[in-house]
């Protein structure tokens, strides 16, 4: 480990450059990458050239660096995207065909709702969520479902930090705790302008074969909150189809591993 | 460059490990990664630990390594995914609602059709294509459109290597050259069991503001070839909506860069 440049730190420098690109900074100049990665310009230049050669980064028409096609293709192989998403898309599509509302699929990623897939059409409301985006658990329908079924320590951490997104976001921990209990009892969660003014949401849990809540399926709509419950049966039919798909995949996996 | 471990090769080793994961090998043990990356087990072990710590890789329930959530999230920021896909999804959704057939969006990636997005439902036919997948240009509807509008050197390379996928794949270069001319003249491409037995496809070009063909929009269906043309008007309406979206985005970009 006494060599001039130990391997680990070089890898972490390359990863620091990739990490400098995020949702709010999807296009970066070389000097922006250098600054955000905390690396000298010369090091950044050299590592960026390697990342471009491999296809992890590309240059756009303005010469700024963006995520490359090869990295995107590799990302599509992630199980979070592939297994659940591929099973869920057809039931989500059916739900969209019936409701014509935005249909979402999210999983919990620590204290955030990570949006895995979204189906929407020209008549659906405009949204902040998109695949790959993370939104607060306490302000979204899918997030509340995931929070209601999260381990106690996650619930505690979220309840101790209920930030306000709109003036309707629930920021009082006692009220949110009671709402989470109601979500577990009723089997669905609703929001009313808690994430975005003018939109409401309704969501149900998706369980795996063992009954664990592994994801949440939700609709975002302009419908007022008191009418949201009408969507619950349709959501539950689609959620059941996804659970069935996960069970079949688990059975196929078990079969493969005994081959 | 005389140091014991020059930086570039460490980065390329980490990238070689990521590159060992692909469509056909989405889950790998440590020794498989080591073998496919051509690296000693000890080096692989150390670099994999760093990639896991960052979130580029994860371990699945069986202990095999898979692409991690962070890498997937980063991949969703790629322009190939984000710009075109986000503009295309609503028109693709509308096309699905009308046809109930698989709707595809693909771009050319050298001599392959790279599938960027796909909309489908329970009633659509099962497919080999999925976002991130690459299929041959000469055997798919979207691929033929992209090939018909590709630079001459790309056409030459593809025509000199027309591999057979099914017994209906066009493998004779003169016939394919005539078909490409017809596609440019008629404005759409069709395939009949050339990629998968039992399915046909029809596709149209998507042009950017400058009239360049930047993508192709297609349907895959069980419909027999002679009836495929009936889908062309609907495809062209959706393609026009995508072109309009690309134009608006280009205008917004131009505005942003003068701010």
Task: Find the helix or strand (DSSP H, E) in which A58 lies.
Answer: strand A57-59
Least CB–CB distance from A109: residue in B56, B69, B79? B69
Q: Which pLDDT value is given to residue B6?
A: 43
- Whether residue B32 lies within 8 A of chain A, CB to CB, comes out as no
Calpha distance B235→B245 (Å, rounded): 15
CA atoms within 13 A on the CB side of B64: 14
Rounded Cα gap, residues B240 and B237, in angstroms:
5
Q: Given an 8 Å threshold on Cβ–Cβ distance, is A77 in contact with B67? A: yes
ipTM of the predicted structure?
0.72
Q: Which of B72, B11, B46, B52 lies closest to A48, judged by CA? A: B11
In contact, B122 and B95? CB cutoff 8 Å:
no
What pLDDT does residue B27 have? Answer: 92
Exposure string of A143-163, with b = 16+ CB inside 10 Å and e = fewer, is: bbbbbbbbeeebbeebbeebe
Alpha-carbon torsion (A179, A182, A187, A191), positive or negative: negative
Give strand pairing partners of B207: B213
Chain B: nearest CA to A224, how far in angstroms?
Answer: 24
CB-defined contacts A:B, below 8 A: 188
Return the higher-pLDDT residue of A197 and B204. Answer: B204
Is the pLDDT at B40 greater than 90? The verdict is yes
| pLDDT score of B72 | 87
> Which chain B positions have a beta carbon within 8 Å of A12's beta carbon?
50, 54
- pLDDT score recorded for residue A216: 97
Quote the CA–CA distance of B51 and B56 in Å, as a whole number.
Answer: 5
Residue A104's closest CA among A114, A112, A197?
A: A114
| CA dihedral angle for residue A227, residue A228, residue A234, residue A239, rounded to 10 degrees | -170
pLDDT at position B125 is: 63
Predicted confidence at residue A24, as pLDDT, reads 82
Task: Kindly state the average pLDDT of the residues A188-214.
Answer: 91
A90 vs B5, B26, B122: nearest CB? B122
The pLDDT assigned to A44 comes to: 95
Set of chain A residues whose Cβ sits within 8 Å of the Cβ of B114 = 69, 73
- Cβ pair A6:B5 closer than 8 A: yes
Q: Residue B139: pLDDT above 50?
A: yes
A18-57: per-residue pLDDT in tens?
A: 999 987 888 999 999 999 999 999 999 999 999 999 999 9
Q: Exposed e or buried b for every residue in A66-82, given b needs 16+ CB within 10 A? A: bbbbbbbbbbbbbbbbb
Q: Does domain B76-258 have CATH number 3.30.450.40?
A: yes
Question: Which of A171-185, B2-16, B74-88 has the lowest average pLDDT?
Answer: B2-16
- In angstroms, the CA B69 to CA B87 distance is 24
Between the CA of residue A193 and those of A48, A217, B129, B146, what are the distances in Å?
A: 42, 18, 38, 44
What distances in angstroms separate CA A118 from CA A93, A179, B246, one per listed residue?
A: 9, 25, 21
Residue A74 per-residue DSSP state: H
B245 close to A (CB below 8 A): no
* pLDDT score for B60: 86
pLDDT, average across residues B138-143: 96
Q: Which residues contact B56 (CB under 8 A, 6 or more apart)?
A: A15, B18, B67, B68, B70, B71
* pLDDT confidence of residue A254: 56
The first and second tokens of residue A197, run together, are 């003014």
Contacts of B104 in chain A (CB under 8 A): none
pLDDT for res B31: 96
Q: How far is A163 from chain B (nearest CA, A)?
A: 24
Inspect the interface and report whether the beta carbons of A71 and B69 lie closer than 8 Å: no
Question: Quick one: pLDDT at residue A122?
Answer: 62
Mean of the per-residue pLDDT values of chain B: 86
Chain B, 49-108: which have a CB under 8 Å from a chain A CB? Answer: 50-51, 54, 56, 58, 60, 62, 66-69, 71-82, 86, 89-91, 93-94, 96-97
Q: Long-range contacts: B130-136, Cβ < 8 Å, 24+?
A: B130/A76, B130/A86, B131/A76, B131/B81, B132/A72, B132/A73, B132/A75, B132/A76, B132/A77, B132/B23, B133/B23, B134/A73, B134/B109, B135/B195, B136/B111, B136/B112, B136/B163, B136/B165, B136/B195
Q: Is pLDDT of B194 > 90?
A: yes
CB–CB of A204/A188 below 8 Å?
yes
pLDDT tens, residue by residue, A218-258:
999 886 666 888 999 999 999 999 999 888 876 666 555 44
CATH number of B10-73: 1.10.10.10
Locate A129 and state its tokens.
């969520």
* The pLDDT of residue B259 is above 60: no
* CB-based contact, A234 to chain B, within 8 Å: no
For chain A, give every residue range classified as CATH 1.10.10.10.
10-73
Res B254 pLDDT > 70:
no
CB-CB under 8 Å, B23 with A77:
yes
B120 vs A67, A77, A90: nearest CB: A90
- Sequence-ordered alpha helix ranges (H) in chain A: 7-19, 30-37, 41-54, 69-75, 79-99, 141-148, 152-159, 173-186, 232-258
Mutate to test the interface with A, among B2, B6, B10 (most CBs of A within 10 A): B10
Task: Search chain B and give the residue with CA nearest A73.
Answer: B132
A126 confidence band (pLDDT: 50, 70, 90): low
Residue A77 to residue B18, Cβ atoms within 8 A: no
Residues of B in contact with A77 (CB under 8 A): 21-23, 26, 66-67, 132
**Rounded to two decimals, what is the model's pTM?**
0.72
Categorize the per-residue pLDDT at A127 as very low, low, confident or very high, splitting at 50, 70 and 90: low
Neighbouring C-alpha atoms within 13 Å toward the C-beta of B110 = 4
**CA A46 from chain center: how many Å?**
33
Q: Which residues of B42-66 are buried (b: 16+ CB within 10 A; e: fewer)?
A: ebbebbbebbeebbbbbeeeeeebb
Q: Is the CB of A122 less than 8 angstroms away from the CB of B11? A: no
Tens of pLDDT, residue by residue over B146-157, are 999 999 999 999
Nearest alpha-carbon partner for A47 in B17, B2, B6: B6
**Hey, is the C-beta of A244 within 8 angstroms of any chain B C-beta?**
no
Instruction: Please answer yes or no on whether A78 and B72 come within 8 Å at the CB atom.
Output: yes
The tens digit of pLDDT for each residue in A67-92 reads 998 898 898 888 876 778 888 988 99
Q: Find out whether B206 and B242 touch, Cβ atoms under 8 Å.
A: yes
The maximal CA–CA distance of chain A, rounded, in angstroms, is: 67
Report the distance separating Cα B245 and Cα B237, nearest Å.
Answer: 13
SS3 label, residue B106: strand
Among B43-57, B68-82, B120-134, B180-194, whose mean pLDDT is lowest? B120-134
Reported as a single tens digit per residue, the pLDDT across A47-70 is 999 999 999 999 988 899 999 988
Starting from the edge strand earliest in sequence, which strands make up the sheet with A112-119, in order? A134-136, A112-119, A102-109, A213-221, A200-207, A189-192
| CA B146 vs CA A26, B32, B137, B228: distances in Å | 27, 36, 7, 18
Where do you find CATH 3.30.450.40 in chain B? 76-258
**pLDDT at B1 (0 to 100):** 40
Does residue A183 surpass a pLDDT of 80? yes
A128 in reach of chain B (CB within 8 A) = no
Q: Chain B: residue nearest A127 by CA?
A: B86
Choose among A186, B89, A112, A173: nearest CA to A203.
A186
Q: Is the pLDDT of residue B73 over 80?
A: yes
């Amino acid at each position: 480990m006494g060599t001039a440049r130990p391997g680990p730190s070089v890898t972490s420098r390359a990863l620091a450059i990739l990490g400098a690109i995020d949702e709010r900074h999807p296009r970066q100049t070389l000097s922006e990458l250098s600054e955000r990665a905390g690396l000298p310009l010369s090091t950044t230049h050299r590592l960026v050239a390697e990342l471009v050669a491999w296809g992890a980064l590309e240059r756009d028409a303005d010469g700024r660096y963006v995520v490359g096609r090869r990295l995107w293709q590799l990302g599509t192989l992630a199980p979070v995207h592939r297994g659940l998403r591929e099973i869920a898309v057809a039931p989500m599509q059916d739900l969209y065909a019936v409701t014509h509302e935005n249909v979402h699929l999210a999983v919990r990623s620590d204290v955030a709702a990570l949006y895995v897939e979204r189906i929407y059409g020209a008549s659906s409301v405009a949204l902040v969520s998109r695949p790959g985006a993370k939104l607060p658990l306490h302000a979204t329908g899918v997030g509340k479902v995931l929070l209601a079924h999260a381990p106690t320590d996650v619930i505690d951490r979220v309840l101790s930090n209920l930030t306000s997104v709109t003036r309707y976001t629930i920021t009082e921990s006692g009220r949110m705790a009671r709402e989470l209990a109601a979500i577990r009892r009723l089997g669905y969660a609703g929001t009313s302008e808690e994430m975005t003014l003018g939109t409401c949401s309704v969501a149900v849990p998706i369980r795996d074969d063992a009954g664990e809540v592994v994801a949440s399926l939700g609709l975002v709509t302009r419908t007022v909150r008191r009418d949201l419950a009408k969507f619950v049966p349709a959501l539950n039919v689609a959620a059941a189809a996804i659970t069935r798909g996960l069970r079949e995949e688990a059975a196929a996996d078990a079969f493969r591993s005994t081959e």
